[in-house]
Chain A
Amino acid sequence: MNFLKTKASFEIFLVVTLSIFISLSFSKVQATEVPKACCEKTTTNEYCQYTDSSLCETGSRTTGTGNYKTAPTTCDLTPFCKPNCCKLLNTEEHTCLPNIGTSSCEAQGGTPSPDCTTPDCQKGCCVVGSQCSYTTETGCRTLFRTYAPNLKYTFNEAGSEPECLSTCVKEEKGCCATKNGCKQITNEECDTQNGDFSHALCSTLPSCSCDGEKKKKCVEGTTDVYTYDSCGNNEGVTQSCDYSAGKICDESVEGAATCIDLNCNGATIKEKTGKGLWDSPAVDENKDGKFTNDETIPRKNGESWCEYDANSGPTLDLPGSRHYRHRCSNGKELADPCKGYRDEICIDMNIHSDNTPSSPSLPSARCITNRFQDCGTCDTEACCKNSDKRDCVWISPDTTTQQQLLDQVKAECDQKDEQGNPKRECTFEQEHTKGFCIPRVPPGTQFWTPNDQNTKDSNSKEQSNIPCDLSSSKEGGKTPPIVAHWEKVLEWGCHNNCIAYTPEYALTQNSFCNAQGDCGAKYNLAGVWNNEGFSRHCDKGDKDHNINDQEDPSDVEDDQVLSLPSWGGSPGHPVDGDEQAKKLLNDCKEYIPDPHSQEWKLYKGLLDFGNVYPKNFGIQDKYYAAGATVTPIIASLAVGGFMSLISPTWIFSFTTFLGLPALGIVLAVVLAAIAGIILFFGDDYNATITTTCGTWQPPSGGDYCHLCNQAGTGADGTKIDLTANGLHECTEYLCKSLGTGCEFAQTDEGGKCASKLCEGRNADRIAPLIQLSDKTKNQEACVTTNEDGQKTSCADPLLKENLELGKRTAEVSFIKANTDFTLEFETKNENREKDYTQCRIDKDPRHLYENMPTQSFLQQGFSSLHTLTLKANTDLTTGESTTYYVRCIDNCGNGKDSDPYVFTLHVANVPDIEAPLLTENKIKPENNALIPWQFTHQKVTLTLNKKVLSTPTNPDAGCRAASTDLPYQDMNIKFSCPAPSPGESQHCDHLFENIQEGSNTYFLRCKSQNNIANAQSLIPEGYTLTRTEPLNITSFSCGGTDCSSLIRTLTLALTLTTEGGAEEGKARCGLSTINVSSVDQTDFLFEHTDTSSHSIDLTLSEKTYHYYAICEDKAGNIQSTKIDFSTELDRQAPILRSVYSPGELLYVDTDENSHCSYTNEGTFDYTRATSFTLTGEQIHSTSLNGKNTFIVACKDNYENPMRLPITIYKI
């Protein structure tokens, strides 16, 4: 025992320490992420964005003062981006917009304000003459100021823009004749224009000349067709389109406005497209009791209805399922998905035009938030049914079946013995708490571990753990375990609460488990069952109580069990009494078996909510008009729930027997003897049966992943279309629910789900098959020709062999010459379902997938469709056949080693009537090129778009040149044009000789193999080569002096000057220790170069340097010069050579350039001494100024001071 305690303690220690370690590890991972912040402005000029902090602009504001701000929180919490009403009344917008960040508003020129409901923000109808505009009062005043200062200001209330616009159409107008013509406007407006107003139409007034051809047009803000006279005046409605009946004016056919139908007639749509409206097998769309006849029903424009993937309602929604609101809009059926994971549910109702039931109505549906979160906290019916706060249903024993069972138990509890004492004691919960509160629609659960779990946004609310465990029946749980009472006289028999051993009980408990969300054992939408989410512990006794004595079975004395149909209650056959306990224990399974069994069907009958949809749950949607009719429904019986509500305790009173009459004494003695035996040999046992409700788990494998993307067959063989004719998108939630082997990916075609299983059972080992798309086949009309390029009938087959599934080759003939060809195919698996693959194409059959070009098809990632346009004259050659090899691999790499698919494309051999052209102006050297001075010969190469090889029938083919623009045959310079290698372009070259300095112009023409010569030079103005003058290095200097003199410093500015060349001396120069042939080969470039003056600052040591300065200009002229120089630092102080004083001046001569100074008395100090008036060179002079004594010292230019000053006396 002690060992066990120690072991348990160690395990707890391990769990705790590991948890801390793991959480610390994760926090480190998060620390490396780029933190998010609210940027007042981003580097991409957006305002108030909660994004990566690295994108925040931190510079100073363009307007105002200070820098742009950043805060490590969401923008609504910052003072600079908190949501405000943004009043844009003084901008062109004249409007108020709510919930705009402060800075965002200011950046738009608006004024942040706390309230958008102020009068200045209210929009109304601004009537300016005969025109209406829906704007604010400020906007209206601006309109009047700008366009109609003389008109009466009119700003009326209007609920919407169409309502406003229609008032102008309805306004009474007449014909106003002015000198500018006739207009249909109001009388008031006519007055301001000094016109003659008439109530008649302009077209009826002869003076107006507006009686020409009339036109029918649509008018903005109205739905009817209007007539306009030849002057453009609206004459009123000519055809009324009843919008409430789905009719509206349309003028998509020019000049012929008419009423069109916006309704969605299923039958008509089916006629046109082959598929009508989506008819879900789980929904009776037209409510006629039939589920599969709704494809062709008529729907009105604006009508909407709910669609569900499968049954929906308490306990019923399956993992992966979603609610949708379908609607008819502009003649099309659209699907508005409710929020995923059933965070929103779809409700529908019939909206009447007024409060009378007989009024016209429109079926309407809407997605609303699923407020399931606190259903489990409600203990009373009132709390549960409070629709203002939550969307829950109350499961209570007030339905027929449950009431019958309750009555039966009550009747037994009411039985009394002869003394009037109750035969057994029953305790009941209070009436108002007899029930369970469960979500009206079970929410979805993220039942898998997301890949990016370690990098989740810390702001995201993580509530993936739907409290499935609430429905567990266990000690200390919300629902206590069931205690079954076993008694032994001679054999063990079950007497009370025995129903907890039955399959029915397990199914019922699972049903409550299901109600919480994706909990317990459930099907998925492919019809595959998984029972891992629910388990039951069947207590079958212990070593002292062998209730599971299979050799000596006994009976069950519990009417609840015996009344079950499978036990003998109608219908069925009673179980043999002696075998009852055996059956009870044998039927008690830990996991619920496959529900295709009889028990499952029976169970479904017990908890069948019928055709229950959320629409029936009594939800009144405030968004819609009042008068919606809904039918509340009461949830039906749950046996298990009932079982846990009552805890009857049976009390046998032997005192009853002791009070029997004398005649019965013998019998009493016998009974007493039996009782004695029972007391002596008898026993009893309270068995505890618990259930565990956990998160639902998807079934293993990946066989049904494709059902997320396309219609297919479910596990039971029925046809399933979870895409609803392509209206519903595949989501990660649905994908993951279809199997543990399913992987979700976002593609260009939307979310896709594919099996990731490449090994083991259900593994995908089949190479993708390909099938040419209709787009490829339908090119026939555009590209089919016969071999000679003459157009043939469009009906002629383009493909000699269609690349249908299973075939590996296709041949196309003949593609019209000079025409692009689109190659498009789909990849499929062996079941003809879409296979998401990556494909590559190449002309070389030897290349395996990994060696083929990576970017050839339009689609970048995995896709079931692959499109490539083969370009004429690049990928396809006129008159030739090209073979392409395609390899496709799926996500398991299948197809990598398979033979390639082979496409042979024959292009028709049309006569070539086009003369050759330069490919992308390709000529080397390019036109107007500069060539070096020394080049008197230059090879010129042309790249052409077609072959110009001479043939026996066309010996003149090729390219020619001349210095004047002559016809091809008269040109005297001939190019050499060798046959190009396969896949290469035609090249021709010629070595031009005797190129003169300056501009040299040549005219070039070619003649194709088909004898078509250029009528104009390939470069119309002529091809020009300019031979430049020579480049010269005219001078160089070392620190401003001749480099041949000794350099006395270790930092030297080397300068160089160039002249001539291609650009008047402009060149690039570099230095090299050896003489090289190009400036790019020099050791380093001058710091300032690419001009005519070049310089570089060199840091030197004391030695002799040998450099070559190499300069090169744009034309390639190269000039070099050798630069030698020596450096040696001057460490010698200057020497005073002579002193003399003619007159009032003192002269001092030094042996090198120096700076000399003096004092007349005291100690000499350079910092305080007076400089000679003239100094710096070798002769220095200054005025005597009447002084007789001069203490002189000098420093040379390298700061070497004379060791001692010299004192000079003037005598």
Chain B
Amino acid sequence: MKQRGQVTLIIILGILALFVVLFLFYARDQIIEKVTKTTNVQQQLKLELTQIEKDISVCINKETTGILKTLAQNGGTLPYKGNKITILCQNIPETNNCLATPLLAPSIEKEVQPILQEKVRQCIDLSPFQGKNYEISSGDLTLTFIIHPRNVLVSADYPLTLKQGEYTVQTKTITKEIDVPFGRLLTATNEILSQRSTTGNFDPLPFVLIHLNEFNLEEKKPYPNEIYSLSLRTQEDYTFWFAVTAQGRFNS
């Protein structure tokens, strides 16, 4: 009896195993298709998302460099060679000294952030990604703009979701490093302003030598004012301009 029972059990287990094998064989295509589809859909969505992130990155780069160039070159009121230069030190009458307006990174960051955010928002064009075989939904763009000595960091938090059926991919925070030494130029500018505002004069030559030729610094004097252009020796394509008003014997 014991033996018969064991045989029966083995037969039952054998039949069950056979069913399992047959079922797996039968469902093989569906399982493989399911796995493959998951991989394909997710891969496609990820590729699309990567392209969108790339486009956002391009927008950040374009708008940030544009806004920084405007700040550096023609963000002010003093006309010079087709540009409007920012006056950072206004002459104190009857003296050679001037009243300075410091350029500090936090206040510039605060001023630039909303403008840049709006510009980047307008630049991002999702229309090429719409009307495809997935749904695209986006939230509000939030941008942070931080000035460092050797670069500018822009982080875009743009909640974006691509959805196809049950598959979903989402954007992460996109951080772009803009290779513009804005912080260094600001520090140097404030150093120049400190000297110019208190002593009533400033000589670019000792400044350049003291800083071991780190900067290119030129001074022009459209009567009676002074215009300075400052760039890094190793990165001449980005020049920061500012003006100092001075007193003169004549109106010009």
Contacts and interface: CB of A to CB of B under 8 A. Distances in A.
Given A74-B93, A100-B99, A329 B106 contact: no
B234 interface: yes
Contacts, number: 174
Contacts of B100: 97-100
B213 A262 contact: yes
A97 B193 contact: yes
Interface stretch (B36-44, B45-53, B55-63, B198-206): B198-206
A376 interface: no
Nearest to B212: A162
B68 interface: no
A337 B251 contact: no
Interface string A332-360: 00101111110100000000000000000
A343 B248 contact: yes
Interface in A42-93: 45-51, 74-76, 81, 83, 86, 88, 91-93
Nearest to A861: B82
B205 A461 contact: no
Contacts of B190: 95, 97
A329 B203 CA distance: 13
Contacts of B216: 329-330
Contacts of A162: 210-212
* Residue from A83, A98, A248, A731 having most chain B Cβ neighbours under 10 A: A98
Given A329-B205, A336-B204, A341-B223, A91 B104 contact: yes
Given A98-B198, A108-B102, A162-B212, A302 B205 contact: yes
Interface stretch (A742-750, A804-812, A982-990, A1039-1047): A742-750
Contacts of B93: 74, 76, 459
Contact of B252 (A81, A325, A732): A732
A782 to B, nearest CB: 22
B210 to A, nearest CB: 5
Contact of B221 (A51, A223, A337): A337
Nearest to A463: B249
A337 to B, nearest CB: 5
Interface string B103-120: 011110001000000000
Given A339-B223, A341-B223, A1021-B131, A75 B210 contact: no
Interface stretch (A286-294, A449-457, A603-611): A449-457
B172 interface: no
A248 B99 contact: no
Q: How large is the interface on B (under 10, 10 to 19, 20 to 34, 35 or more residues)?
A: 35 or more
A48 B102 CA distance: 11
A234 interface: no
Nearest to B197: A99
B224 interface: yes
Interface string B85-109: 0010110110011111110111100
A47 B208 CA distance: 30
Contact of B213 (A86, A251, A330, A461): A330
B106 A161 contact: no
B54 interface: no
A623 interface: yes
B153 to A, nearest CB: 14
Interface in B194-234: 194, 197-198, 203-206, 208-213, 216-224, 233-234
Interface string A1100-1144: 000000000000000000000000000000000000000000000
Nearest to A55: B77
Contacts of B206: 623
Contacts of B218: 334, 336
A341 B249 contact: yes
Contacts of A223: 212
Most chain-B Cβ atoms within 10 A of its Cβ — which of A46, A76, A746?
A: A76
A161 B219 CA distance: 22
Given A81-B99, A732-B252, A343 B90 contact: no
Contacts of A49: 87, 90, 101
Contacts of B211: 160-162
Contacts of A732: 223, 252
A1176 interface: no
Given A48-B99, A92-B106, A97-B190, A460 B248 contact: yes
A523 B166 CA distance: 89
B106 A746 contact: no
Contacts of A86: 102
B118 to A, nearest CB: 16
B221 A250 contact: no
B99 A101 contact: yes
Contact of A329 (B208, B221, B251): B208
A108 B106 CA distance: 8
A759 interface: no
A845 interface: no
A46 B224 contact: no
Interface string A299-336: 00110100000000000000000000101011000101
A330 B208 CA distance: 9
A819 to B, nearest CB: 23
B99 A462 contact: no
A107 B107 contact: yes
Given A97-B193, A452-B251, A463-B249, A343 B224 contact: yes
A631 interface: no
A258 B103 CA distance: 34
Nearest to B128: A1020
Contacts of A456: 251
A109 interface: yes
Interface string B170-199: 000000000000000000001001100110
B70 interface: no
Nearest to B188: A161
Contacts of A248: 212-213
Nearest to A93: B104
A83 B193 contact: no
A718 interface: no
B252 to A, nearest CB: 6
A1021 B134 CA distance: 13
A1034 B247 CA distance: 75
A335 to B, nearest CB: 9
A697 interface: no
B23 interface: no
B159 interface: no
26 contacts: A47-B101, A51-B77, A91-B104, A97-B102, A98-B198, A99-B97, A99-B98, A99-B99, A99-B100, A100-B101, A161-B211, A162-B210, A222-B212, A330-B213, A334-B218, A336-B204, A337-B220, A339-B223, A339-B246, A343-B248, A366-B203, A446-B249, A462-B249, A463-B250, A746-B81, A748-B82
Ranked 4 nearest A-B pairs via Cβ: A99-B197, A748-B82, A340-B223, A1021-B131
Interface of A: 45-51, 74-76, 81, 83, 86, 88, 91-93, 95, 97-101, 104, 107-109, 116, 160-162, 221-223, 243, 248, 250-252, 262, 301-302, 304, 325, 327, 329-330, 334, 336-341, 343, 364, 366, 369, 443, 446, 450, 452, 456-457, 459-464, 623, 729, 731-733, 746-751, 1020-1021
Interface of B: 77, 79-82, 87, 89-90, 92-93, 96-102, 104-107, 111, 131, 190, 193-194, 197-198, 203-206, 208-213, 216-224, 233-234, 246-252
Given A161-B211, A456-B251, A460-B248, 20 more contacts: A83-B197, A91-B104, A98-B198, A99-B99, A99-B194, A107-B107, A116-B198, A160-B210, A162-B212, A221-B212, A248-B213, A251-B234, A327-B205, A334-B218, A337-B221, A338-B221, A343-B224, A369-B96, A452-B251, A733-B223
